[in-house]
Chain A
Amino acid sequence: MLHEAASGHPGGSLSAVEIVTALYFGGVLRHDPENPEWPDRDRFVLSKGHGVPVQYAALAMAGYFPIDELSTLRKIDSRLQGHPVLGTAPGIEASTGSLGQGLSIGLGMALAARLDANDYRVFVLLGDGECQEGQVWEAAMAAGHHRPDNLIAIVDYNKFQLDGATADIIGLEPLAAKWESMGWKTREIDGHDMRQVLDALQWSMSAGEPACIIAHTVKGKGVSFMEGENAYHGVAPSDDELARALGELDGEDPEEQHAHALGSDHVLEEAEKSIDAESQANGKGGAR
Chain B
Amino acid sequence: MEHRRGLIRPPRPAAILIAAAVLVFGIAGALEAAAHGREHRRANSTRSVSSAQVALAQRVESALHALTVTNVPNDTGEASARRTASRGDLVAVAITGRDSVVQSDSVAPLVGGPLTAGQRLDADLEVAGTLALAADSGEVRASAPVSLGTSAPSRSVLLVEPRYAPGQSLATTAQRRAALTGYAFGVLDVERLAAQTFASLPGPGGAVEIRDGDAVLFSVRDDAAPGRPSSPVVQNLSVAGRTWTVTSWVAGGAGGLPWLIFTAAVICAAGVIVLGIGAATSRARDEHEAARNRREFALVLESGALLQRSLDLADVLPSFAVTLSDEFNLEGITVMLAEGNGQLVELFSMGARPASLPTLADALVAPPDSVEGGHPLFVPLHRAGRAIGALWLLPREPLSPGQLDAVRAIADLAGSAVANAELYRKEQETARRLRELDTLKNDFIGTVSHELRTPVTAIKGFSAILESSGDQLDDEQRRDLIARIARNSTSLGTMLNGLLDFARLERRSMALEVARIDLAAAVRNVVDQMGSMLDQQELDVDAAGEVIAYTDTYAVERIVSNLLSNAAKFSPPGTRIQVQVRRSATDAGDRALVAVEDEGPGIPPEERGRIFSRFYRGSGEGVMRTRGAGIGLAVVQEFADRIGATVSVSSGRSGGARFTVSFPTSDPTVDGAARDEVTVPGQTRST
Real binding pair: no
Which A residues contact B (CB, under 8 angstroms)?
none
Which B residues contact A (CB, under 8 angstroms)?
none
